[in-house]
Every structure is written in structure tokens, then in C-alpha cells.
């Protein structure tokens, strides 16, 4: 019986979130936590779905029943089935699909993009569609639009290609960053909602267009400097740029007390820099510094009730296990 097991990494935005939605550059790093999608062939004519993180199992007698009864909160998966069925003329049946992720959901670590990318890769291999990574990323972008409204495309790109990327207006190139580059990722214990954060900022931009354009412009400026600092590996300077980026994001009302508390704790205890990552208003905070310092900060944050882990760069992107 045929089995395909695909995985895709999560991500952190190092610089430039939100401004990237308006055409400015951003830098993202793929991290070693991942989402996995397993497709197994079944003997019987049915479609089974196991959504491990939601603790939910579904069974449908055929694709028709799946389209009618599969809950709309999983529209991302529904839409992919539609694409595979209609665009690639493939008859989806006799499969069990199991999805799981080690990424905290709604945390800014790209769980939805990494699930989309792993799903597309698994279908591509299972049905011999031979999709290139760029095609996988494009389809995942279509799915991301369903979840996030008007995403920039950075999340699906980084989860597909891995490494560290400099992204602007749909195009990207890799940045060579030292193998031992580490960041501390701390969860605020608050879910964030990318779609809502983008909408909130869009409304603010309608009221304060000049101010927002100015802040986006500054974010873009520092993101470009950050690219060269990442290449030379000057952690101190990268940290300073992260601190500036955090202040600019706070000026756009994307920070909150919890994010500020984590950022301040990290800085007071020796981090070179700290900022929110992703949509903000919750989700995760990233901090950089020497590895032993990051470990100490992690323990201090843990004693304050915040879970954190040290992430390194995922070099592979989406792959078949």
C-alpha cells in the first residue's frame, strides 16, 4: 500500500513583518519545528482525515460527501482538495490523510503556511503531479489567502524553501547566515490572528496614512541594513536593528503589554535584541544573543510562565521524509 510522508518547517519573521504586505522588504528564517502530512492508501472506498492537533477524525464515503460535510473552518484543506480534483483532474478516494504540527497554532510561527505547504507536497507526490517547489509555494499561497485575506506570500515561500530569505513583492533571494545562528522564541500565551492584525493596521493606515507610510519606509530601510549584518554575523548590530524594528511595530499598535514584558526581560538579561515576530498582538517574541545567555533568559521567562525554545535554521524546506 502506498504511503507518502511530507514535512514543512515553520518560520520566524526576523525583520519587516506587516510592511512587507505593502511592498517593503522582509527577512524570514525557517525553523526546525514542523508540520507533517501523511497520505496512506486504503483498501476501501472512503476518505479519512485525522487532524491530530485538533484531536478530530473525519470519515466520508466519497469526495462529494467530503465537500458537503467537512467543516468550513478547515476551508484551507477543502480548497486544496478542490484544486487537486479540478485543476489536476485527480480522483481523490481511498486515502487516509493525517495532519499534525509541532508549531503552536496561531503563534506567528507559520503553522498555517507550513501545513499548507506539507499538504501540497504530499498530494503532489502521492498523485505523481511532479510539482516543483515554486509551484508548491504558489498553491500554498492560494490556500494562505483563504486563511489570511491578503498575505504577502513570505510565509508560504519560507516554509517551502527553508533557510533565510530576503522577500519583497513576491520575489526572494537566500541570505547566507552562519550555521550557528540561534534565536530564542518565546510564546506570549496569547493567540494572534494574522487576518485581524492586517485589517487593524489597514484601518489605522486609512486614518494615519502619512505616519504609517513613514514607519513602513523606516522598517524597509532597517530591513535592508539587517540583510548585510546577517551576512557578516554581527549579533550586536542585528540585535540593535531588531530593537528598532520592535519600536516601529509598537508605533503601529502591534505590540502589547505581554510582548513588552518579554522583550524587556530579554534585554535586561543580556539579549542583544528582541522583537515580536509575525502579525503581533500576541503570538511569539524572538530574541538574539549568545547561546548561553539565551538559555538563561529562557529559564527566567519560563519562571514567569512563558514557554520558549532555542531555534536554529531549517536548511531543507518542504521535503519527503
CB nearer ligand MEV, residue 113 or residue 262 = 113
Measured from the Cβ of residue 210, the count of other Cβ atoms closer than 10 Å reads 8
Q: How far is CA 35 from CA 109, 155, 215, 229, 312, in A?
A: 11, 13, 34, 30, 16
Q: For ligand MEV, which stretch binds (CB under 6 A), given 17-25, 75-83, 133-141, 242-250? A: 17-25
Query: Taking the complex as a whole, how short is the minimal distance between the CB of residue 192 and ligand MEV, in angstroms?
Result: 9
C-alpha cell at 41: 492508501
**Helix/strand/coil for 205:** helix
If the CB atoms of residues 37 and 158 are measured against ligand MEV, the closer one turns out to be: 158
Interaction of residue 279 with ligand MEV, rule CB under 6 A: yes
Backbone dihedral angles phi then psi of residue 217, each to the nearest 5 degrees: -60, -45
Min dist CB 78 to ligand MEV, Å, is: 21
β-strand partners of 273: 288
Task: Give the residue, chosen from 20, 219, 235, 263, that forms a contact with ligand MEV under the rule CB under 6 A.
Answer: 20
Q: Does 13 bind ligand MEV (CB under 6 A)?
A: yes
Kindly state whether residue 185 participates in binding ligand MEV, applying the rule CB under 6 A: no
**Alpha-carbon distance 293 to 67, whole Å?**
51
Neighbours of 125 (CB within 10 A): 17
CB of 31 to ligand MEV, least distance (A): 12
Residue from 194, 223, 298, 308 in contact with ligand MEV (CB under 6 A): 194
Q: Count CB atoms within 10 A of the CB of residue 41.
A: 12
Size of the site for ligand MEV (CB under 6 A): 13
- Among residues 92, 147, 155, 308, the one that binds ligand MEV under rule CB under 6 A: 155
Q: Is 33 in the site for ligand MEV (CB under 6 A)?
A: no
Among residues 10, 17, 215, 271, which is the contact residue for ligand MEV, using CB under 6 A? 17
Q: Which of 21, 115, 143, 242 lies at the binding interface for ligand MEV (CB under 6 A)?
A: 21
- Residue 130: Cβ within 10 Å count: 8
* Alpha carbons 183 and 33: distance in angstroms, whole number: 13
CB of 29 to ligand MEV, least distance (A): 12
Nearest in space to 162 (alpha carbons), one of 17, 42, 303, 315: 315
If one asks whether residue 278 binds ligand MEV (CB under 6 A), the answer comes out as yes
Interface of this chain with ligand MEV, residues 226 to 255, rule: CB under 6 A: none
Q: By CB under 6 A, what part of segment 134-153 binds ligand MEV?
A: 148, 151-152
Q: How far is 153 from 21, CA to CA, in rounded Å? A: 8
Closest CA to 112 of 81, 74, 78: 74
Comparing CA positions, the residue from 203, 291, 297, 286 lying closest to residue 242 is 286
* Minimum distance, C-beta of residue 197 to ligand MEV, in the bound complex (Å): 6
When the beta carbons of 84 and 185 are compared against ligand MEV, the nearer one is 185
Q: Taking a C-beta distance cutoff of 8 angstroms, is the pair 61, 70 a contact?
A: no
Residues that bind ligand MEV (CB under 6 A): 13, 17-18, 20-21, 148, 151-152, 154-155, 194, 278-279
Amino acid at each position: 500500500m502506498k504511503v507518502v510522508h511530507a514535512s514543512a518547517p515553520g518560520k520566524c519573521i526576523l525583520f519587516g513583518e506587516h510592511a512587507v504586505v505593502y511592498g517593503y522588504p522582509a527577512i524570514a528564517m525557517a525553523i526546525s519545528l514542523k508540520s507533517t502530512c501523511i497520505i496512506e492508501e486504503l483498501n476501501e472506498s472512503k476518505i479519512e482525515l485525522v487532524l491530530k492537533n485538533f484531536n478530530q477524525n473525519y470519515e466520508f464515503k466519497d469526495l462529494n460527501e467530503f465537500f458537503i460535510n467537512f467543516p468550513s473552518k478547515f476551508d484551507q484543506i477543502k480548497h486544496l482538495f478542490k484544486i487537486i480534483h479540478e485543476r489536476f483532474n485527480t480522483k481523490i478516494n481511498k486515502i487516509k490523510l493525517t495532519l499534525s504540527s509541532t508549531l503552536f497554532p496561531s503563534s506567528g510561527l507559520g503553522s498555517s503556511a507550513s501545513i499548507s505547504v506539507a499538504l501540497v507536497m504530499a498530494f503532489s507526490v502521492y498523485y505523481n503531479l511532479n510539482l516543483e517547489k515554486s509551484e508548491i509555494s504558489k498553491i500554498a499561497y492560494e490556500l494562505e489567502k483563504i486563511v489570511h485575506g491578503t498575505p504577502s506570500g513570505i510565509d508560504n515561500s519560507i516554509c517551502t524553501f527553508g533557510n533565510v530569505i530576503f522577500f519583497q513583492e513576491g520575489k526572494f533571494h537566500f541570505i547566507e547566515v552562519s550555521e550557528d545562528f540561534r534565536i530564542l522564541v518565546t510564546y506570549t500565551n496569547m493567540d494572534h490572528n494574522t487576518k485581524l492584525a492586517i485589517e487593524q493596521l489597514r484601518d489605522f493606515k486609512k486614518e494615519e496614512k502619512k505616519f504609517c507610510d513613514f514607519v513602513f519606509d523606516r522598517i524597509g530601510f532597517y530591513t535592508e541594513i539587517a540583510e548585510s549584518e546577517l551576512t557578516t554575523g554581527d549579533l550586536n548590530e542585528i540585535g540593535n536593528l531588531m530593537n528598532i524594528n520592535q519600536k516601529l511595530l509598537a508605533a503601529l499598535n502591534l505590540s502589547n503589554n505581554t510582548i513588552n514584558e518579554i522583550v524587556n526581560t530579554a534585554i535586561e538579561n543580556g539579549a542583544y535584541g528582541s522583537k515580536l515576530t509575525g502579525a503581533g498582538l500576541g503570538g511569539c517574541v524572538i530574541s538574539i544573543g549568545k547561546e548561553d545567555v539565551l538559555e538563561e533568559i529562557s529559564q527566567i521567562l519560563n519562571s514567569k510562565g512563558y514557554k520558549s525554545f532555542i531555534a536554529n535554521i531549517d536548511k531543507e524546506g518542504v521535503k519527503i521524509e
